[in-house]
Structure 1
Amino acid sequence: MFDVFRQFFLLGLFSFGGPAAHIGYFHKAFVVKRKWLAEEEFANLVAISHLLPGPGSSQVGFAIGYHRRGLGGALCAFVGFTLPSVLLMMGFAYFSRVFEHHFVVDKVIHGLKLLAVIVVADAVFGMFKSFCRCCLTQTLCVLTAIALLLFQSMAAQIVAIVLAGMVGHFRLRPGHSSGAGTGLSVNYPLLLVFTLLFAVSFFTFDNVLLDMFAGFFQAGSLVFGGGHVVMPLLQSLTAGSISTETFLTGYAAAQGIPGPMFTFATFLGFHSDPQAPVTAAIAATLAVFLPGFLLLLSVKSAWVSVKENNVLRGVISGINAAVVGLLMVALYQPIFLSAVFNATDLAIVLGGILLLKSFNLSIVKLIVLVLAVNVCPLLWV
């Protein structure tokens, strides 16, 4: 059990690059090097992580831990891989509060906001190419973006995702329209737990911690694709309690740390409850990860066959298209409008996109460069 924790903790310390890179690290460490599972088993885990809501790469790690040592191994894998980024985000949240409105800190924060524009623009472009390949998915994407620009609320986002999934169910199934594909073997008690928690998440509670847990659980239940997709949902969730500036500061910081991007919730939780910031940070982190893990365990016996289920694949195709539209709106508001104030800011963004897309500059190097250019104006005058 400790070996599972140790291996994932070491990966959590150095796994930069986002979900796709994390899956590559897992493949090298546990398929090629340690042979904990076969190529086909690993491919099936990756397939189901793309079909379920939640943090894709963390779900793969959780499943590898389960495959190795059961539920205890799954928990060790999750804690090991997530702990480094949780601690880093807590530290960043603390220092961003202590040194708030300091001249240099303001410059750093503005630089991080510009970085967020670059990274999210790259994510939108890449996801549009991957998820919007036909006329229908492109239409779903654009209609979702238009609807959410006109009706900016968490409820509108949920409705858009549900409607897109329904369209996908009827119009985007691969193969014969009458075939449902391979059936799923479901753990109904766990699925019931998820369903009840998801239903309860729509209620408002007097207890700050409980209300925050419900909100983050709801957001984690609606995220298909992981990574950047969680950002617009969390922005709607925390709009009343966390300023746009603080939100974007944490989101940008999440780009530059190793491990899962879902630990952005750690930063938001820390700022959501000044009376008990550490407790709130832990609660928010657990809440946003929990839905994906419950669903993964609910269908764990279907890991081999789920990728062949045409009904699920159609639904997810529709949802993924809507998610791209969701991210387009978030790129405009709050990210772009809160970060780009003049021609110089736009020039930095365009240069960063060029370095990221055409020269494959790593995120860590890009962070250093953007901060240097923004904090030291003499470099570009």
Structure 2
Amino acid sequence: MQPTQQKAPKEAEARKGKAGVLLELLTVSTKLGLTSFGGPTAHLGYFHNEYIQRRKWMDERSYADLVALCQFLPGPASSQVGIGIGVIRAGLLGGLVAWVGFTLPSVIALVAFALLLQGFDIGSAGWIHGLKIVAVAIVAHAILGMGQKLAPDRNRATLAVLAAVVALCWQSVFSQVATIMAAGVVGVLLYRKEAGEKPPDLRIAIGRPLAVVCFVLYFGLLAALPLLKGFGEDGGWLAMFDSFYRSGSLVFGGGHVVLPLLQREVVPPGWVSQEDFLAGYGVAQAVPGPLFTFAGYLGAMAKGIPGAAIATLGIFLPAFLLVIGALPFWNGLRNSPRIQGALVGINAAVVGILLAALYDPLWTSAILQPTDFGLAAILFAMLVFWKLPPWAVVIAGAAGGMLLGLL
């Protein structure tokens, strides 16, 4: 009996330790979700400060490996890094807890905003027009930064411009996917011989069988949902889940690039008006956390709180499946010159896709007269030269829109 009596306290202590790790992970990720302003690049800085420098949960090399993986995968890069840290720290449940803490604060804020707007005709409100102009400035700022980093030379800048032209002239569900695939092929042809030094291996305990299951689910849902929704009601729950799952599955380059995909999914079917779409996008810049939580706002505008839950789960589920599926294979894949070359081309195309989104729907819906352009220029300067945080620019844009309405 004595060995059994000794074993029970050890098991209880182990369970308590696991619960303690999960509680700490939830607390820290929630703090990040409440304070992480500034977009994916800034989020990675917050993560590095909190998870790596302060708490030493990962070493510098492993964190760099994880960031490289999540930048390669489609989906919200900062959220995927958070999920990966949670998985490495406390297994699959740790990944879920880290995602909930980082995501839930901005989802709640955006859903609350959506519920306040429901039932109101906001199309002519001056502050709403100001938020549309804020979106122009924010995306222009994102293009400037991404272009300098991801398309710095003639070949990549040309690839970005061609991607923008294709995205503008061929506006369909498949255009972005085809553009990214073509850019990846071009990247392999042009940059496969420019691979850098072999990166260090990333240590991860997830087995390859589980990874394969996640990949099967990812591709299976991507193929099956468009077929299954045909048996359901037009505009029903399955159709909504399919739209947001597909958007979350096919986006490279972070939150801003999801804008054209989401716009084509929710505006033409009449789920959300163009005015409501751009107003929510403007407000999404003022809240912390991942920009993909904009899906929660769209779901709430379309179908209330249940719609917000469906949209949020739909757009983030691919991030889970891809991170868990890719981690065990990443060490081998990322050493391939072809993979590295493809990533160079894909990143350049992402800049072009975002450039196309800057024109349509943002510019065409917001910049209607010279005074609109003037306000956009001021907001852009506030971001680029004055280095003001996005939430301050959002407030300034809403106030500027109200002022323009009085002129």
- What TM-score, normalized by structure 2, do the two folds share? 0.86
Separation in structure 1 between the aligned mates of residue 336 and residue 302 of structure 2, nearest angstrom: 40
Conserved? CA contact 1:48–1:306, under 8 Å? no
Q: CA deviation at 1:133?
A: 2.3
Separation in structure 1 between the aligned mates of residue 142 and residue 172 of structure 2, nearest angstrom: 22
Tell me whether 1:281 sits opposite 2:300 in the alignment. no
Question: What SS class does the counterpart of residue 35 from structure 1 fall into?
Answer: coil
Query: How big is each residue's C-alpha offset from its partner over 1:266-297, in whole Å with a ceiling of 9 and x where there is no partner?
Result: 11111233xxx211111111111111221110
Query: How big is each residue's C-alpha offset from its partner over 1:26-76, in whole Å with a ceiling of 9 and x where there is no partner?
Result: 111111111111111111111111111111011111111111111111100
Number of corresponding residues: 374
1:86: which partner in 2? 107
The code of the aligned residue for 1:160 comes to T
Q: CA deviation at 1:135?
A: 2.7
1:299: which partner in 2? 326
More displaced stretch, 342-351 vs 128-137: 128-137
Separation in structure 2 between the aligned mates of residue 368 and residue 175 of structure 1, nearest angstrom: 44
2:192: which partner in 1? 173
Tell me whether 1:99 sits opposite 2:126 in the alignment. no
Query: How big is each residue's C-alpha offset from its partner over 1:221-248, in whole Å with a ceiling of 9 and x where there is no partner?
Result: 1111112111111112223222211111
More displaced stretch, 355-364 vs 198-207: 198-207
Separation in structure 2 between the aligned mates of residue 29 and residue 110 of structure 1, nearest angstrom: 37
Structure 1 residues 101 and 233: CA distance shift in structure 2, 3 A: closer
1:191: which partner in 2? 215
Tell me whether 1:124 sits opposite 2:143 in the alignment. yes
Separation in structure 2 between the aligned mates of residue 200 and residue 256 of structure 1, nearest angstrom: 36
Separation in structure 1 between the aligned mates of residue 314 and residue 340 of structure 2, nearest angstrom: 26
The code of the aligned residue for 1:251 comes to Y
2:36: which partner in 1? 15
More displaced stretch, 125-134 vs 343-352: 125-134
Q: CA deviation at 1:83?
A: 0.5
Structure 1 residues 168 and 188: CA distance shift in structure 2, 3 A: same
Identity over aligned residues, as a percent? 40
- What TM-score, normalized by structure 1, do the two folds share? 0.91
1:341: which partner in 2? 368
2:240: which partner in 1? 212
The code of the aligned residue for 2:351 comes to V
The code of the aligned residue for 1:231 comes to L
The code of the aligned residue for 1:356 comes to L
Structure 1 residues 164 and 110: CA distance shift in structure 2, 3 A: same
Q: CA deviation at 1:302?
A: 4.1
Q: CA deviation at 1:16?
A: 0.9
RMSD over aligned CA atoms reads 2.4
Separation in structure 2 between the aligned mates of residue 20 and residue 60 of structure 1, nearest angstrom: 11
Task: List alignment gaps of at least 5 residues for structure 2.
Answer: 1-21
Conserved? CA contact 1:54–1:292, under 8 Å? yes
Structure 1 residues 323 and 264: CA distance shift in structure 2, 3 A: same
Conserved? CA contact 1:200–1:214, under 8 Å? no
Aligned counterpart in structure 1 of residue 383 of structure 2, from 339, 344, 356? 356
Q: CA deviation at 1:197?
A: 1.0
Aligned counterpart in structure 2 of residue 151 of structure 1, from 165, 170, 183? 170
Query: How big is each residue's C-alpha offset from its partner over 1:161-202, in whole Å with a ceiling of 9 and x where there is no partner?
Result: 22212222332224379x999999952222111111111244
Larger Rg: 2
Separation in structure 2 between the aligned mates of residue 239 and residue 69 of structure 1, nearest angstrom: 40
Structure 1 residues 176 and 44: CA distance shift in structure 2, 3 A: closer
Task: List alignment gaps of at least 5 residues for structure 1.
Answer: none
Conserved? CA contact 2:103–2:289, under 8 Å? yes
Query: How big is each residue's C-alpha offset from its partner over 1:348-379, in whole Å with a ceiling of 9 and x where there is no partner?
Result: 1111111211111111221222222222459x
Query: How big is each residue's C-alpha offset from its partner over 1:301-320, in whole Å with a ceiling of 9 and x where there is no partner?
Result: 24555543322222222222
